[in-house]
Amino acid sequence: MLNSYKLLSLRADLRYEKISFYKKYNAAGEYCEVLARQAKELLAARDNINAVVDSLAEPYRTVLYLRFIEGHTVEKTAEIMFYSYRWLMRLQATAIQEFRKAVNK
């Protein structure tokens, strides 16, 4: 779920681009409605991921935000948070467990 965060935004953007294309030519009105609904669902899923990440305690929130939402590497995230690589990997594993618990509530 976390790995798909950026992909959700990209897919929604693609749908909005298709809507713009079809509206230029006054074509496929019903298809545009379907695309708009899909885009809204994708953005809602992305916002749901954000809400779950925001509900977590520190430093789990920061680790997940930097790694999966901003897309930093493990090395860069460790550098930003002033942790060693190994400690960040442990912290990330715990953060993912906490995220899963929060999602399953």
In terms of pTM, does the model score above 0.95?
Answer: no
Q: How confident is the model at residue 21 (pLDDT cuts 50, 70, 90)?
A: confident
- The answer on pLDDT for 22 being more than 90 is no
| Three-class secondary structure of residue 75 per DSSP | helix
What is the overall mean pLDDT for the chain? 92
> What's the pLDDT at 68?
93
> What's the pLDDT at 105?
81
> What's the pLDDT at 27?
67
57-105 architecture in CATH? Orthogonal Bundle (1.10)
For the chain, domain boundaries: 1-55, 57-105
Percent of the chain, pLDDT > 90? 72
- Residues 44-67 have a mean pLDDT of 96
Kindly compute the dihedral angle of the four CA atoms of residues 39, 20, 70, 67, in this order, to the nearest 10 degrees: 40
What is the C-alpha separation between 96 and 19, in angstroms, rounded?
Answer: 36
From the list 49, 68, 51, the residue with the least C-alpha distance to 3 is 68
